[in-house]
Amino acid sequence: MAIKSSLRNMALVLTLVCLGASAAVAVIYAVTKDPIEIAKADKTNKAIKQVVPAFDNNPSEEILNIPADLSSPQETNKVYVAKKGDEIVGYAVESTTTKGFGGAFTIMVGFTPNGEVYNTSVISHSETPGLGAKITDGQSHFITQWNGKNLVDGSVKIAVTKDGGDIDAITASTITSRAYCDAMEIAGNVFNNINIQ
Amino acid sequence: MNKLIVSPSPHVHGKDNTRRLMGDVIIALLPAVLVSIYFFGLSAIHLVAVSVVACVAVEFLIQKFLLKGKSSIGDLSAIVTGVLLALNLPVCSPWWLILIGAVVAIGIAKMTFGGLGQNIFNPALVARVVLLVSFPILMTGSAFHAPESGYIFGNAPEFVDATSGATPLALVKEQLAKGVAMDEIMKDPNLSYFQMLYARMGGSAGELSAIALILGFVYLLVRRVIKPYISLSVLLTVFIFSGLLYLGNPAKFVDPVFNLLTGGLLLGAFFMATDYVTSPMTTKGQIIFGVGIGVITVLIRAFGAYPEGVSFAILIMNSTVPLLNKIQPKRFAKEAQKK
Amino acid sequence: MSKFKYLLEGIVKNNPTFVLVLGMCPTLATTTSAMNGMGMGAATMAVLICSNMVISLLAPIIPDKVRIPCYIVVIAAFVTVVQFVMQAFTPALYETLGIFIPLIVVNCIVLGRAEAFANKHSVLESALDGIGIGIGFTIALTCIGLVREVLGNLSAFDHKFASSDGMLVFVLAPGAFLVLGYLMVIFNKIKGKKNA
């Protein structure tokens, strides 16, 4: 059976086990540190790729921090700049709304340089499956209706039709749809403020 | 020592007795069913017929082929479940939705627990809640979202006046979320008391006419099938609790009469909460049961995400019934202590 | 070989999910699809095999009074290792399983096998037990995940076979309990018939 449970033995064995465990974890940490960074950047780049036109730079290295509301400049949103060669082809804006049905959710909005929405996609959410979760369906009418719209020149009323706006909500998911409009409006304001920086 | 089983009358003994009781419940439900047929015609008949046939068939098949025993469909309890299930579903439900409901109600909520008398939760409500979670668009829609196909006979129901199709409670919750004050919301003609008492509102087939449901309730009382404690304590609690909320902030809360007449409250209080198997046996227990249902219903309606709360409230209180049944009348408890 | 019975027992006779009823929390939470269930099972199996072997190795020198803390430290170390590896090389699965990867530390299966088996048997036997229980767990999770996915999402192994949604209750918590319960009944019925 095991060795005697004297105080000396217990303290010794516990210390050795902890040291051994920490050493093993440290080694693995060092080995996997870089692949983890690469995986994280990959994930962000994938999200960016979905929402802006083709680019050849690494947008994760060109991040602007732009506020949505100029009166509170410390609250900024991340804006990734996508370039082809030296020419800017698009901006990917991360936008979070707190008005979701299941809490806050974050989307990535891609703008072409002239302010039109190229595409949008959801980064993380906790909406109801079958209802609000339909925002993750990139082919759905709700998502594709945003493409091509200009959110900053006043041509689009960013609200669901029930509230007098131009956006068709997801069936039976008005609250989620409204939250998405809120996130889009924030993204639009951020885009507007890019040129002011 | 022999156990003394304390329970109020009527006592369910042999199959004949069950049959008589179930028959009375079916008769009591007839006014509500007839009102539904009057307004929706063939669609309502489709709903009730498919539901009853499916429930009876599922019970028969399970008992004969899965359990390899005798069939008990003669006690009519499956028919009662079928009618109650139908009254809890939207009129425009396609046949497969009703069938799944029947399988859940009889197969999962009733048979898995051991058949009549053994289930903890009200089968029709379990089915309704499962369907509500599983098919949210079909279950919360009205005829205006009605699917084109899925009816064994008849067509998708038509409505004469156009409304947005939402139930009164859902309408109210939506307007509140937009920040409209309560007195503005109440000006909508679809929300008048007259409509709710006599005529129809959006929602499930059983939410239509309060008068029809009250008639059924009175019949059950007269025939001594149920005692009034549960139903009255539910309604009184809802009235008082929501009344207090209304007095506190009339702009944000509906008035208590509105609360009483809408949603499945009357259907729930008269027919679902009073189901013998899933409600307490002692009067004290029944009153606590009713108060609990009332409180939870108002909480969900006023503060929760769903516009309607009766189904969830009854199911939650169902789970407390074994505990409530342990509340002894004082006399017997004292004698037990003496020993 | 007689040692292989340790492996086989973990799959049917001592199936951790349907017979021992251990590790219910990750079972219910991660079986939203067959692939998720399989991924969780594989991650747990990796930890289980490693921790079983190391604990079997160290058991003779660990004093009895501190054995539980020592086992937990060993298990936690392996879980952290698995977590880093998944984060680096299987990021999609890492995101989906989320917080349930670190929760493998408190999965009763791992500590349970360490206490009930690994500290009394040889390293080889402990490894075989880990593999057996791990396979049993993975099969159980994959089955539950598959049923939930087919009924709730109308897809199997992430391939949709119909365009609409299924019965949503099955991808939510209540459905998890229902599927687990009924599969447990079926599993034990078949197991009972085999033994009779």
Confidence band, pLDDT 50/70/90 cuts, at residue A62: confident
For the segment C27-40, what is each residue's pLDDT rounded down to a tens digit?
Answer: 999 999 999 999 99
Count of CB contacts below 8 A, A vs B? 15
Contact assignment for A172 to B174 by CB distance below 8 Å: no
Q: Please enumerate in sequence order all residues whose Cβ is within 8 A of that of A86, keeping only pairs 6 or more positions apart, or say none.
A: none
Residue C164 has pLDDT above 60, yes or no: yes
What tokens appear for C52 in the block? Answer: 């079983």
Report the pLDDT value the prediction gives residue C83, as an integer from 0 to 100: 94
Contact assignment for B137 to A172 by CB distance below 8 Å: yes
What tokens appear for B8 in the block? Answer: 């109020």
Report the pLDDT value the prediction gives residue B306, as an integer from 0 to 100: 74
Question: How many Cα atoms sit within 13 Å of A83 on the Cβ side?
Answer: 12
Give yes or no for B179 touching A (CB within 8 A): no
Percent of chain A with pLDDT over 90: 20
Report the pLDDT value the prediction gives residue B159, as an integer from 0 to 100: 43
Cβ atoms of B269 and B237 within 8 Å: the answer is no
Closest CB to A130: pick one of B136, B177, B305: B136
Give yes or no for B174 touching A (CB within 8 A): yes
Burial of B153 (0-12, 13-18, 19+ CB in 10 A): exposed
Among C84, C167, C172, most A C-beta atoms within 10 A, so best to mutate, is: C84
Contacts of C64 in chain A (CB under 8 A): 1-2, 5
Nearest CA in chain C to B97: C167
* Residue ranges per structural domain of chain C: 3-195
Q: Residues of chain B whose pLDDT is less than 50?
A: 1, 9-10, 142-145, 156, 158-165, 194-202
Give yes or no for A41 touching B (CB within 8 A): no
Q: Please enumerate in sequence order all residues whose Cβ is within 8 A of that of A122, keeping only pairs 6 or more positions apart, or say none.
A: A105, A106, A107, A108, A135, A136
Q: Which of A8-17, A176-185, B56-65, B244-253 has the lowest mean pLDDT?
A: B244-253
Residue type at C168 in one-letter notation: L
Residue C77 has pLDDT above 70, yes or no: yes
What tokens appear for A157 in the block? Answer: 């009323």
Measured torsion, CA atoms of residues B20, B23, B24, B27, in degrees rounded to the nearest 10: -160
For the segment A20-34, what is each residue's pLDDT rounded down to a tens digit?
Answer: 999 999 999 999 999
Q: How many CB atoms lie within 10 A of CB A156?
A: 18
Report the pLDDT value the prediction gives residue C175, as an integer from 0 to 100: 93
What tokens appear for A122 in the block? Answer: 């959801």
ipTM of the complex model: 0.85
Among B178, B180, B306, most A C-beta atoms within 10 A, so best to mutate, is: B178
What tokens appear for A64 in the block? Answer: 């602007």
Cα C179 from Cα C187, distance rounded (Å) = 12
- The neighbours of chain A, by the rule of 3 or more Cβ pairs under 8 Å, are B, C
Section A43-55 average pLDDT: 86
Nearest CA in chain A to B177: A175
Residue type at B178 in one-letter notation: K
Contacts of A179 in chain B (CB under 8 A): none
Section C15-26 average pLDDT: 93
Cβ atoms of A129 and C172 within 8 Å: the answer is yes
Give yes or no for C172 touching B (CB within 8 A): yes
Question: Which phi and psi (to 5°) does residue A108 adopt?
Answer: -110, 125
Confidence band, pLDDT 50/70/90 cuts, at residue C75: very high
Report the pLDDT value the prediction gives residue C130, as an integer from 0 to 100: 93
Tell me which of C89 and B203 has the higher pLDDT.
Answer: C89
Cβ atoms of B120 and B324 within 8 Å: the answer is no
Cα B242 from Cα B233, distance rounded (Å) = 14
For the segment C59-72, what is each residue's pLDDT rounded down to a tens digit?
Answer: 998 988 898 999 99
For the segment A116-171, what is each residue's pLDDT rounded down to a tens digit?
Answer: 899 998 888 888 777 788 888 888 888 989 888 888 787 888 888 877 888 888 87
For the segment B123-177, what is each residue's pLDDT rounded down to a tens digit?
Answer: 999 999 999 889 887 777 543 445 555 555 555 454 433 333 456 666 666 666 6
Contact assignment for C74 to A21 by CB distance below 8 Å: yes
Contacts of A6 in chain C (CB under 8 A): 63
Q: Rounded mean pLDDT of chain C?
A: 91
Contacts of C168 in chain B (CB under 8 A): 133-136
Report the pLDDT value the prediction gives residue A168, as an integer from 0 to 100: 87
Q: Name the DSSP letter for residue B62.
A: I
